[in-house]
C-alpha cells in the first residue's frame, strides 16, 4: 500500500470508529483513546545477506488497545508496508476480536521487504531478527503474532524458535499459525477461507439464492482465494473468474479449480499460463452472484461502484472497498459483508491455537470447524440484525459491534 493509500485507509477507519461510537452514545474522549494504537514500535533489523553484506530492514509492531486482554495480530512481509498501514490493521484486528468476542485487543506487525527476492536463509535471518527486535513487547500474555501477507507457517516456526531461545523456555503460545508439529492448530491454514465460505452461505440465505450453481468471482488466488475457490466448488457453486496481480481468467461456464490450484505458484500467480486474460477491473464488474475481493485494499471505489453487477460482496481482503463505494453499493441494494467480519476466521482459529497451546490439549479439525462456525454465524446474525434495526450499512453495524466490548472494558478500567 502506498503512503497516501495507507493514510486514506487509516483516516477512513478512524471516521467509521467515530461514527460507531456516536451511534452507541460514547463521547469524544473514547474516540481519542481508540483512534490510534496505544503503542507503535519501529525497529531496524540488520540481516547478513547471502552476498556477505549486511542489509538494514525497517519493521513495525502496533498494539492498538489491550483493555480487553493481550493484543493479537499478524506480521506481514511486503515492500509497501507503512507505519500508517500497520496502525490501521491493528485497529481492524481490535474490531475483529470484538466482533468474535475474543479476549484480545488488536495488534499488527510488518517488515518492509520483498520475500520473493530473498533466499530461504535470508528470510530466516530476517524473521529471527524481527523477533529479537520486538521481544520486549510481545509474549503469550502481552501480544501474540501470526502469519499475514507473504508470511507463512515456516516463518512462524523460526519466530517461535527465536523467542523460545531468548526466553530460555518453550513458549508455543507466543505465536500462532505454526506448523502442526510445533503446536499449530488443525484448520488454521484454511481458517480465513473457511470463514469466508460460512459468510457467503449466510449472505446467500438472506438473499434467497441457492449455493448450488451460484456464480462466484474471486479477486486474488493466494491462500485465502485459493482455498475459497476449492470450498465453493465443493459446495456446488460455479467459480467463473479468478485473478492474480497480473490479470484475471474468466469462463462463464465455470473454471477447473483443481487444475488452477495445481498450476499456481507459491505466491498465487496463475494467469501467466493463459494467453487470453482480462484485467482485474473488468473482472470486478462481471455479472455474478458473489464477488469476493481477496487481494489488496481500495479495489472497489467511487469510480467503479456503480458498475459492480454482483448481488453480494464478501470482503476476504482487508479494506478492499472505500467508504464512498460502501455507501453506493448499499444504496443499490448490494449486500456487503465487511472485512472485519468476513475474514475474521483467521484470528478466531489463531485464538483456538493459543487456547490449545496454553492447555496442552489439542482438538480435531472437525472440532475447530464446529467452534468456528458457531462463532461466525452468531456474529453475522448480530451484525445483520444491527444493520436492519439501526438502519445502518453492514460495515457500520460491524464497527458498532466490534468497538463495544473494547470501549466498555476501557470505561470499566477507569481509562475514560
Task: Give per-residue pLDDT as tens, 217-259.
Answer: 999 888 888 899 999 999 999 999 998 888 899 999 999 888 8
- Amino acid 291: pLDDT: 96
Question: Mean pLDDT, the chain, as a whole number?
Answer: 92
What are the extents of the domains in the chain?
37-170, 191-333
Model pTM score: 0.91
Query: Taking the CB of residue 31, how many other CB atoms lie within 10 A of it?
Result: 19
Distance of CA 202 to the CA centre of its chain: 19
As annotated, the active-site residues are 108
Residue 346, C-alpha cell as written in the block: 483467521
* pLDDT band (50, 70, 90) for residue 2: low
More confident residue, 162 or 189: 162
- Amino acid 122: pLDDT: 98
Reply yes or no on whether the pLDDT at 268 is more than 80. no
> For 355-388, what is each residue's pLDDT tens digit?
999 999 999 999 999 999 999 999 999 999 999 9
Dist. CA 64–CA 66, nearest whole Å: 7
Q: Which CATH architecture has domain 191-333?
A: 3-Layer(aba) Sandwich (3.40)
> For 277-306, what is each residue's pLDDT tens digit?
899 889 999 999 999 999 877 789 999 999
Alpha helix positions (H), 278-364: 280-284, 323-331, 339-342, 345-359
Residue 221, C-alpha cell as written in the block: 488466488
Are the C-beta atoms of residues 244 and 207 closer than 8 Å to each other?
no
Residue 184, C-alpha cell as written in the block: 499449530
Q: Which CATH architecture has domain 37-170?
A: 3-Layer(aba) Sandwich (3.40)
* 3-state secondary structure (DSSP) of residue 250: strand
Dist. CA 77–CA 266, nearest whole Å: 15
Dist. CA 376–CA 392, nearest whole Å: 20
Helix (H) or strand (E) holding 373: helix 365-389
- Amino acid 333: pLDDT: 92
Dist. CA 65–CA 35, nearest whole Å: 10
> For 329-351, what is each residue's pLDDT tens digit?
999 999 999 999 999 999 999 99
> For 51-67, what is each residue's pLDDT tens digit?
999 999 999 999 999 99
Domains 37-170 and 191-333 share a fold: yes
Amino acid at each position: 500500500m502506498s503512503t497516501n493509500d495507507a493514510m486514506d485507509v487509516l483516516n477512513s477507519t478512524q471516521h467509521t470508529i467515530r461514527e460507531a461510537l456516536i451511534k452507541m452514545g460514547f463521547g469524544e474522549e473514547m474516540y481519542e483513546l481508540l483512534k490510534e494504537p496505544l503503542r507503535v514500535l519501529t525497529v531496524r533489523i540488520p540481516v547478513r545477506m547471502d552476498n556477505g553484506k549486511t542489509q538494514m530492514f525497517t519493521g513495525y509492531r502496533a498494539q492498538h488497545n489491550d483493555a480487553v486482554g493481550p493484543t493479537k495480530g499478524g506480521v506481514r512481509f511486503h515492500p509497501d508496508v507503512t507505519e500508517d498501514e500497520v496502525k490501521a490493521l491493528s485497529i481492524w484486528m481490535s474490531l475483529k476480536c470484538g466482533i468474535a468476542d475474543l479476549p484480545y485487543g488488536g495488534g499488527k506487525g510488518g517488515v518492509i521487504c520483498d520475500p520473493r527476492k530473498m533466499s530461504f536463509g535470508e528470510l530466516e535471518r530476517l524473521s529471527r531478527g524481527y523477533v529479537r527486535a520486538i521481544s520486549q513487547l510481545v509474549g503469550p500474555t502481552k501480544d501474540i503474532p501470526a502469519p499475514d501477507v507473504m508470511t507463512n507457517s515456516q516463518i512462524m516456526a523460526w519466530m517461535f524458535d527465536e523467542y523460545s531461545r531468548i526466553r530460555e523456555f518453550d513458549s508455543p503460545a507466543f505465536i500462532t499459525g505454526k506448523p502442526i508439529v510445533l503446536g499449530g492448530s488443525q484448520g488454521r491454514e484454511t481458517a480465513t477461507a473457511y470463514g469466508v465460505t460460512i459468510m457467503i452461505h449466510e449472505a446467500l440465505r438472506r438473499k434467497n439464492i441457492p449455493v448450488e450453481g451460484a456464480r462466484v468471482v474471486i479477486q486474488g488466488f493466494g491462500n485465502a482465494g485459493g482455498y475459497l475457490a476449492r470450498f465453493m466448488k465443493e459446495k456446488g457453486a460455479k467459480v467463473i473468474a479468478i485473478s492474480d496481480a497480473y490479470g484475471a481468467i474468466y469462463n462463464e461456464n465455470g473454471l477447473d479449480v483443481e487444475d488452477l490450484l495445481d498450476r499456481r505458484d507459491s505466491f498465487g500467480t496463475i494467469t501467466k499460463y493463459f494467453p487470453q486474460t482480462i484485467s482485474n477491473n473488468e473482472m470486478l464488474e462481471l455479472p455474478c452472484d458473489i464477488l469476493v475481493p481477496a487481494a489488496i485494499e481500495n479495489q472497489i471505489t467511487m469510480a467503479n461502484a456503480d458498475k459492480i453487477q454482483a448481488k453480494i460482496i464478501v470482503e476476504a481482503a482487508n479494506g478492499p472497498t472505500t467508504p464512498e463505494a460502501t455507501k453506493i453499493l448499499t444504496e443499490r441494494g448490494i449486500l456487503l459483508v465487511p472485512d472485519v467480519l468476513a475474514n475474521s476466521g483467521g484470528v478466531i482459529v489463531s485464538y483456538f491455537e493459543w487456547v490449545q497451546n496454553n492447555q496442552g490439549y489439542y482438538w480435531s479439525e472437525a472440532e475447530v470447524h464446529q467452534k468456528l462456525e458457531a462463532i461466525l454465524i452468531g456474529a453475522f446474525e448480530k451484525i445483520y440484525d444491527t444493520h436492519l434495526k439501526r438502519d445502518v450499512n453492514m460495515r457500520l453495524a460491524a464497527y458498532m459491534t466490534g468497538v463495544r466490548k473494547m470501549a466498555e472494558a476501557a470505561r470499566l478500567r477507569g481509562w475514560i
